[in-house]
Amino acid sequence: MANRVGLALGSNLGNRLAHIKEARDMLRKLMPDDAAYHQAPIYQSEPVDCPPNSPDFFNTVVEIDYIGTPHELLEYTQGIEFHFGRGVVYQTNAPRIIDVDILYFGNESVDGGILTIPHPQLTHRRFVLQPLADIRPDMVLPGDTATIATHLHHLDSGEPPLTLVQTHW
């Protein structure tokens, strides 16, 4: 049985829109033929916790149906990042062609090692919460009691507002 999986996509190097579209298309190949699919608008955001003078990011969230384990999906998402040139050793929060993060995996919780689900920063980052709220405002994450829309409404991250880039892509 498939799990509904939310993934954050971000890019701040090169043709950001093209990179996000290509990563999305690679993720859609994982889905069963009859599966539902959702994608949020793309937003531009200033870098958060990145090296000085890092370029602005394009960010979005996609939701797919996935048959497999969280760790298998992690391997696939890392493969997408490697496809775009990410090295095995990389600087945390450094500029990148593509970043793919698993936000949630159905109702599962994974804690420890190289993977934590739900993503530990999900409810603290406007550039993730806003696009997720666009497609799943009433979602409550495993282990939480507040909706995504509530988290966004009460967010006090100090991040500047996002700029809508493209609704349909």
Q: Which of 24, 101, 126, 134 is catalytic?
A: 101
Phi and psi angles of residue 109, each rounded to the nearest 5 degrees, phi first: -120, 135
Q: Which of 16, 33, 49, 96 is catalytic?
A: 96
DSSP bridge pairs for 34? none
The verdict on whether 28 is a catalytic residue reads no
The verdict on whether 34 is a catalytic residue reads no
CA dist., res. 151 & res. 126, Å (int):
9
CA dist., res. 62 & res. 13, Å (int):
20
And the tokens for 153?
Answer: 């409404």
CA dist., res. 131 & res. 42, Å (int):
7
The verdict on whether 144 is a catalytic residue reads no
Measured N-to-C along each axis, helices 70-83 and 16-28 cross at an angle, to the nearest 10 degrees, of 140
CA 81 and chain centroid, separation? 13
CA atoms within 13 A on the CB side of 57: 29
The verdict on whether 16 is a catalytic residue reads no
DSSP bridge pairs for 43? 59, 164
Q: Which of 99, 126, 134, 136 is catalytic?
A: 99
Q: Which of 16, 86, 125, 136 is catalytic?
A: 86
Catalytic residue positions? 86, 96, 99, 101
